[in-house]
DNA sequence: GAACACCGGTCGGCAACGCCGACCACCAGG
DNA sequence: CCTGGTGGTCGGCGTTGCCGACCGGTGTTC
């Protein structure tokens, strides 16, 4: 494969840099942060600004991400086939389970949330579409790891960050869990990401049985798990049924 | 201002092209659609793909937008100061009004929705963050037009698209409405975008009194408007109060 | 089944394009 | 008033990316 276009790669790096730092960044910060000459960085920033990908605070002259990115991100969701077909199933699942539902796809070294159905009560919740979750510490992630060798390979050999005392941080333990996931056909994560939160996830496949994403139910450990500490079987069944339904939906129109 | 970087502008055009067309596009379609040589378009697409901004369907070879855009769009929201400060006010406004609340900013020739609070009931609603609304046919848009001469200038001289029979399509009528908005301090749009839907919006200013966005309450015309067909005064008061609160919040930390 | 049209992808040569570093205007602090 | 910082500009050099011809595969047509 021939090389990438230099200016484009650099522009992407600038956008990621701006996305990473919480606050706005100045021209010099951007330039030194990526090892570019000031003039070079300025040329790229100027173009990105004209296109709406970057905005400049007129007061301080510092740069931040632009609104066009939000619009394009929304367009990504609009054409996302998996998400479109999963919408109604995810809604039903949330209703039946009485819990939050996430739909995630593999992206870089994490799980990107492409759909999020609020728990059906009146509590205040923030939408997490577009956010990333760790592969090794979530039910969504472990499902994708179990069925996607490439993802497992890219994750490397740990040890990984521990979010709680129950986070799996060692490769051997994670691989054992993945084997279990493949055997059972579903993954759980009880207090591995946040204290008090438990999740169940199952795989979504396309028409050729390739893993394309995962669906997950997440909620308070008291409601997701039974008195024995294990995930309630009825919930597992709901999640697996939903995953199968979405997978079937993805393949149905093929012939 | 010196010129833009050619390859970057072209890449942006490709992304917009992919965002516009509902379906996936092939290499040749992209190339001819923008008047580029196939090799050129391929080089840009290849780089965008490496960076995650576009994805390629391995089966058909066609291109679509990539997941990285969703992630960056979310990052845009994370650093968006207006949105961050308005979150709690918008929530309260939705609760008090019992209706949907939108928060919009000017972007290109439309209003970009940066926040959306669902109507506080159990009905099924889709999130519209990241979508665009027309300037001339929404309450949000008319507020921004009334207070931002640049936006009004860019909109040109119409006539604009009519979404319903009550849509304002002529420049003279729109300018008259804008004058009224400035006089009253708020804008309404009753069945100008969709049949049966009415909205009220008010301006949000930053510390230097520059218009930076608008907040809007939207709902069924039967609940938003009173028996006389005009918007309920209590609702107008709520929206204006919320807008003032957000504006004050934006300016408060200045000194 | 062969001819065709079209697909996505590659490659090399030419020159345009964008990179670089010096420079400018401005501002804050000493 | 100088110094060190900012964002921004400019022109010359040479790297870079653009272009159009070409390749191998696919599906359509007859």
What positions of strand C are covered by protein, i.e. any atom < 7 Å from a CB? 6-12, 17-23
B253 pLDDT band (50/70/90 cuts)?
very low
The neighbour count for residue B37, using CB atoms within 10 Å, is: 10
Residue B176 tokens, joined: 């008259």
Confidence at residue B2, expressed as pLDDT on a 0 to 100 scale: 63
Residue B6 tokens, joined: 């050619």
B106, with CB counted inside 10 A (0-12, 13-18, 19+), is: buried
Same domain, A99 and A59: no
Tell me the shortest Cα–Cα distance from A115 to chain B, in angstroms.
10
Confidence at residue B16, expressed as pLDDT on a 0 to 100 scale: 87
User: What's the CA dihedral at B70, B74, B79, B81 to 10 degrees?
Assistant: 120
A253 pLDDT band (50/70/90 cuts)?
very low
Same domain, A43 and A63: yes
Residue from the list B16, B43, B131 with its beta carbon closest to the beta carbon of A5: B43
Give me the half-sphere count of Cα atoms (radius 13 Å) on the Cβ side of residue B115: 25
User: Would you say residue A1 lies in a domain?
Assistant: no
Q: Provide the strand spans (E) within B121-236.
A: 132-134, 187-190, 197-205, 211-220
Same domain, A131 and A162: yes
Average pLDDT, integer, range A162-177: 88
A254 pLDDT band (50/70/90 cuts)?
very low
Work out the angle between the directed axes of helices B38-51 and B6-20 (0-180°, nearest 10). 80
Same domain, B30 and B114: no
Confidence at residue A186, expressed as pLDDT on a 0 to 100 scale: 92
Same domain, B64 and B84: no
ipTM for the predicted complex: 0.86
- Which domain range does residue A165 map to? 80-252
Residue B30 has pLDDT above 90, yes or no: no
Contacts with A73 from chain B: Cβ below 8 Å: 69-74, 130
Q: Which of A27, A52, A70 is the C-terminal boundary of a domain? A: A70
A1 pLDDT band (50/70/90 cuts)?
low
Residue A18 has pLDDT above 90, yes or no: no
| Nearest chain A residue (CA) to B23 | A79
Same domain, A147 and A208: yes
Average pLDDT, integer, range B179-196: 90
Give alpha helix (H) positions in A167-253.
Answer: 171-184, 221-224, 233-252
Q: Which nucleotide is closest to B7, CA to C1'?
A: D17
Residue A76 tokens, joined: 């990504």
User: Would you say residue A66 lies in a domain?
Assistant: yes
Q: Which of B20, B51, B70 is the C-terminal boundary of a domain? A: B70
Q: Average per-residue pLDDT in chain A?
A: 85
Contact B67 A47 (CB under 8 A): no
Q: Average per-residue pLDDT in chain B?
A: 86
- Count of domains in chain B? 2
Structure confidence by residue, pLDDT tens digits, A60-102: 778 888 889 999 988 888 888 888 888 889 988 988 888 999 9
Supply the CATH number for residue B125's domain. 3.30.450.40
Average pLDDT, integer, range A149-178: 86
A240 pLDDT band (50/70/90 cuts)?
very high
Same domain, A197 and A116: yes
The neighbour count for residue A52, using CB atoms within 10 Å, is: 19
Structure confidence by residue, pLDDT tens digits, B63-91: 888 889 999 988 888 888 888 888 889 98
User: Would you say residue A75 lies in a domain?
Assistant: no
Alpha carbons A218 and B236: distance in angstroms, whole number: 39
Same domain, A137 and A60: no
Confidence at residue A155, expressed as pLDDT on a 0 to 100 scale: 83
* CB distance B18 to B10 below 8 Å: no
Contacts with A34 from chain B: Cβ below 8 Å: none
Average pLDDT, integer, range A52-65: 82
Residue A13, CB, strand D, below 7 Å: no
Residue A128, CB, strand D, below 7 Å: no
Q: Which of B70, B94, B109 is the C-terminal boundary of a domain? A: B70
Same domain, B49 and B168: no
Tell me the shortest Cα–Cα distance from A121 to chain B, in angstroms.
9
B254 pLDDT band (50/70/90 cuts)?
very low
Average pLDDT, integer, range B203-209: 83
Same domain, B141 and B200: yes
Residue from the list A43, A72, A91 with its beta carbon closest to the beta carbon of B15: A72
Same domain, A140 and A55: no
Structure confidence by residue, pLDDT tens digits, B142-184: 999 999 888 888 888 878 888 988 898 888 888 888 999 998 9
Structure confidence by residue, pLDDT tens digits, B40-69: 888 888 888 888 888 887 777 788 888 899
Same domain, B43 and B141: no
Residue A56, CB, strand D, below 7 Å: yes
Confidence at residue A255, expressed as pLDDT on a 0 to 100 scale: 40
Contact B22 A78 (CB under 8 A): yes
Between A1 and A8, residue with greater pLDDT: A8
């Amino acid at each position: 494969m021939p090389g990438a276009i230099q200016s484009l790669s650099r522009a992407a790096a600038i956008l990621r840099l701006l996305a990473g730092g919480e606050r706005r960044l100045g021209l010099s910060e951007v330039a030194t942060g990526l090892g570019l000459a000031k003039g070079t960085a300025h040329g790229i920033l100027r173009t990105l600004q004209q296109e709406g990908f970057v905005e400049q605070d007129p007061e301080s002259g510092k740069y931040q991400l632009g609104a066009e990115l939000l619009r394009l991100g929304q367009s990504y969701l609009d054409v996302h086939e998996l998400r479109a077909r999963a919408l109604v199933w995810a809604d039903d699942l949330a209703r039946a389970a009485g819990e939050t539902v996430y739909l995630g796809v593999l992206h870089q070294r994490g799980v990107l949330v492409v759909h999020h159905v609020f728990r059906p009560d009146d509590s205040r919740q923030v939408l997490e579409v577009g956010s990333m979750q760790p592969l090794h510490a979530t039910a969504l992630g472990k499902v994708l790891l179990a069925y996607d060798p490439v993802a497992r390979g890219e994750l490397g050999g740990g040890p990984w960050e521990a979010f709680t005392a129950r986070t799996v941080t060692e490769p051997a333990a994670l691989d054992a869990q993945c084997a279990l996931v493949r055997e059972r056909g579903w993954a759980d994560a009880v207090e591995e990401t946040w204290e008090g939160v438990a999740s169940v996830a199952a795989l979504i496949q396309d028409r050729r049985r390739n893993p394309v994403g995962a669906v997950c139910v997440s909620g308070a450990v008291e409601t997701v798990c039974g008195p024995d500490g294990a995930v309630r079987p009825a919930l597992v069944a709901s999640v697996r049924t939903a995953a199968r339904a979405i997978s079937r939906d993805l393949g149905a129109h093929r012939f």
